[in-house]
Structure 1
Amino acid sequence: MTSQRIHAAGTATAEPLQALRDAFGFVPAAAALMANSPALLNTFFSAFGHFRGGGTFGAAERQVLLLANAVANGAEWAVAFHTLEALADGVEPEVVEALRRGEVPGNPRMAALSAFSQALIEQRGHVDDTDLAAFRAAGFTEEQGFEVIAGVAISAMTNYTVNLARPALEEDVAPHAWTAGHPADA
């Protein structure tokens, strides 16, 4: 699949796509691609709304989690997009750069969050007690461990969509391009 597969929105996807256009000034390519399946786009849009609006993570923590997941999934578009969003949401540039390189950030709280999220992905949810203990030692709650699962699920929808379709980067996102397998170039 290529970026030419971006869908022209029908009535079943028009509302979420308009909300994204209003929020970003453009429809992110991942969402436009998800519009090929109203079930996928509407599930993503609902889940992300609950994650953002009903979750306990702040904007910077959400972006660290989503960026770490994008790197773990080798999702080039998503890494670039979440780099843009992370910097806009106040994530320290050093943290963003470390995540893009596949490294643990120097900020202990962000390191624990990204490591726990990546462990969930890499171990398919079978994290051990030391993973959870490190997460909790950074000040996160057990309940937030479950909230990370929501972030992993949202990332899977976005990351797998862009990995399948390989869309071009939008103009605002392009300066943050990243190539899977070459994180040192990030």
Structure 2
Amino acid sequence: MNARVSLVSATDTPDASRALLDAVHGAFGATPNMFRAVANSPAALQAMWGFFGALGGGSLPAKLAEQIAVAVADRNGCEYCLAAHTMLGRKAGASAAEMSAAQAGESADPATAAVLGFALKLVAQRGQVGDADVAALRAAGFGDGQIVEILAHVALNLFTNYVNVAFAVPVDFPAVKLRSAA
């Protein structure tokens, strides 16, 4: 299947996207198809890359961020993000079993399990969570800044999931089987 929007190449990248795509290429050693699709809009590419950069410098460990990403990707039926973030999670120190469990919204670690449950509730209920949901994160050891950051990770992953699903972006990472239908 072909992508529903063009995947820009070195010869047809909008000038305003070129420097950002160079940064993406430097970070990954290649330019993933998702970024090539988003680069059609320099503003969208700037927003996405900035979002990744800001959260990459946040307080949540990379492993936890990748576990959130695979849980959200599986829930949204995003094969692209599931594949990419499973690989990134492994690079961040998660075992294959931990990434598989996270894909199902589960973890043997109680704090991680609380985060994944909250993330999936945000997705399933479109942000309609209650006092008890936030209190559960606090009880698991997370402060308000981290709780806001968890929500930001969910929001970023919704953005990337929607890009890849809506535009049928071809997966260019090792494939991972979805557990759930979106």
Same fold (TM over 0.5): yes
Paired with 1:134 and 1:91, the residues of 2 have a C-alpha distance of 24
- 2:134 aligned with 1:135: no
Paired with 1:182 and 1:90, the residues of 2 have a C-alpha distance of 27
* Counterpart in the other structure of 2:156: 154
Q: 1:163 to 1:180 in 2, by over 3 A?
A: farther
Paired with 1:2 and 1:133, the residues of 2 have a C-alpha distance of 45
Paired with 1:103 and 1:61, the residues of 2 have a C-alpha distance of 12
Paired with 2:119 and 2:66, the residues of 1 have a C-alpha distance of 12
Paired with 2:99 and 2:84, the residues of 1 have a C-alpha distance of 12
Partner amino acid, structure 1, of 2:83: A
* Counterpart in the other structure of 2:125: 123
Percent of aligned pairs sharing the same letter:
31
The answer to whether the Cα contact below 8 Å between 2:111 and 2:140 also exists between their aligned partners in 1 is yes
* Counterpart in the other structure of 1:98: 101
Paired with 2:107 and 2:168, the residues of 1 have a C-alpha distance of 27
Partner amino acid, structure 1, of 2:128: H
Partner amino acid, structure 2, of 1:178: K
How far apart are 1:34 and its partner, in Å? 0.6
* Counterpart in the other structure of 1:45: 49
> SS of 2:129's equivalent?
coil
Gap runs ≥5 in structure 2: none
The answer to whether the Cα contact below 8 Å between 2:105 and 2:116 also exists between their aligned partners in 1 is no
Paired with 1:97 and 1:27, the residues of 2 have a C-alpha distance of 26
CA RMSD of aligned residues (A): 2.0
How far apart are 1:182 and its partner, in Å? 6.2
Partner amino acid, structure 2, of 1:6: L
- 2:2 aligned with 1:5: no
Gap runs ≥5 in structure 1: none
* Counterpart in the other structure of 1:34: 38
The answer to whether the Cα contact below 8 Å between 1:76 and 1:177 also exists between their aligned partners in 2 is yes
TM-score, scaled to structure 1: 0.87
TM-score, scaled to structure 2: 0.88
- 2:20 aligned with 1:21: no
> SS of 1:135's equivalent?
helix
How far apart are 1:57 and its partner, in Å? 0.5
Which stretch of the first structure deviates more once superposed, 61-70 or 154-163?
61-70
Q: 1:155 to 1:93 in 2, by over 3 A?
A: same
* Counterpart in the other structure of 1:87: 90
> SS of 1:5's equivalent?
coil
How far apart are 1:119 and its partner, in Å? 1.3
The answer to whether the Cα contact below 8 Å between 2:16 and 2:42 also exists between their aligned partners in 1 is yes
Q: Map residues 59-78 of structure 1 onto 2, 5 A cutoff.
A: 59-78=62-81
The runs of 4+ residues in structure 1 deviating greater than 3 Å are 179-183
